[in-house]
Amino acid sequence: MDYFSGYISNLIEQLSSLPGIGTKTAQRLAFYIVSQPEDKARHLAESILEARKNVRYCKECCTLTDAEKCPICSNPRRDKHTIMVVETPRDLAAYEKTGKYEGVYHVLHGAISPMLGIGPDDIRLKELMTRLAGDVNEVIIATNSSLEGETTAMYISKLIKPTGIKVTRIASGVPVGGDLENIDEVTLLRALEGRTQL
Amino acid sequence: MDYFSGYISNLIEQLSSLPGIGTKTAQRLAFYIVSQPEDKARHLAESILEARKNVRYCKECCTLTDAEKCPICSNPRRDKHTIMVVETPRDLAAYEKTGKYEGVYHVLHGAISPMLGIGPDDIRLKELMTRLAGDVNEVIIATNSSLEGETTAMYISKLIKPTGIKVTRIASGVPVGGDLENIDEVTLLRALEGRTQL
């Protein structure tokens, strides 16, 4: 890309190293950024630096935050006796958006994946077990419904069962608004197995 | 998004103000950025600041660059007698990628759009006309094949014709590898009108 200039090419290269951003998107973003007023570009650059500098793991739930405890763990109205286990802070965000979950979270930062060489020690499982020594009524496992997510869910439930704490798994089934004819067989079977009485 | 922290929420907000970046993508990018080593985040922030600070319009072709003349206009091997008129620096990049065009460019930074209130004075047309006072053999109009692009092409060709300089328009037709049955009628008609003898 020597047909732009060094600085713009460098910005395009930096942007295209971000996940899911290809060269074309990076170009679009770079030209947008350099066409904006200088203080808008500065705000963006500063927000990157500040977020990176101040980021840390919540000492309770291990989500990414900028204080010792994240806003959810430090909220006295959240039910600390119910812990939902998720893979990433983005999954936490997804459940928060429902506005209905009142418990707290535990962010694993990944899932067990023998194929990728990610074992139980590579995710924040030890921290979860430490929390269970406290007063916990239920652990809701909300890892993804993928092979890795299911493996992780199985592993965690086996780990927790001996402690006598209730372990549940979020339901798998037909998405709301989903058209049955377009849904894969595995999901259809799961939905059948998980049927509830009306 | 008060369930993250101030700094992360701020970064997500800044990122989602970029074109084509929604909240979910912004979240994904933000968490990626804060999970990276600190110097990677700094490189990204610095490349934004430097690109913005050093950006300017090439005094010849008006593309965005960081020197008085862009790398293409200052390349002595490029044919300065042929000017390709494009709407944006990204269109320039698209033609450069072919590696076959040896002339220079002129970047309009937009297209005439009565609907959006963009007139001939709002794009870099005056600069193009000034260049034509020099020794130019051909002006190739490569604006988009949209309503605005076609309007702009028509306007420019009418403007240049009196000077006697040859004005051409890039061909409109069926894309290479395109399946005829999936192509819209207007394009099919254009391809028919533009047929060449074999």
Within chain A, which residues score under 50 in pLDDT?
A: none
Q: Give the model's pLDDT for residue B104.
A: 96
Closest chain B C-alpha to A193 CA, distance in angstroms: 32
Length of chain A: 198
The CATH homologous superfamily to which domain B6-54 belongs is: RecR Domain 1 (1.10.8.420)
Distance from CA of B189 to the nearest CA of A (A): 30
Q: Which residue of B has its CA nearest to A11?
A: B47
Contact B52 A72 (CB under 8 A): no
Q: Specify the pLDDT at position B2.
A: 65
CATH of B64-197, one of 3.40.50.300, 3.20.20.300, 3.40.1360.10, 1.10.357.10: 3.40.1360.10
ipTM of the complex: 0.75
Taking residue B170's Cβ as centre, other Cβ atoms within 10 Å add up to 14
Domain borders along chain A are 6-54, 64-197
- Spatial separation of the C-alpha atoms in residues A177 and A37, rounded to whole Å: 43
Q: What is the pLDDT of residue A47?
A: 93
Choose among A20, A34, A88: nearest Cβ to B51.
A34
pTM: 0.75
CA–CA gap between residue B129 and residue B67 (Å, rounded): 22
pLDDT (tens, 9 = 90+) of chain B, 198 residues, equals: 567 778 889 999 999 999 999 988 999 999 999 989 999 999 999 999 999 999 999 999 999 998 899 999 999 999 999 999 999 998 998 898 888 899 999 999 999 999 999 999 999 999 999 999 989 999 999 999 889 999 999 999 999 999 999 999 998 888 887 788 888 888 888 888 888 777
What are the backbone dihedrals phi and psi of residue A186, each rounded to the nearest 5 degrees, phi first?
Answer: -60, -45
**A6-54 and A64-197: same fold?**
no
Q: What is the pLDDT of residue B184?
A: 84
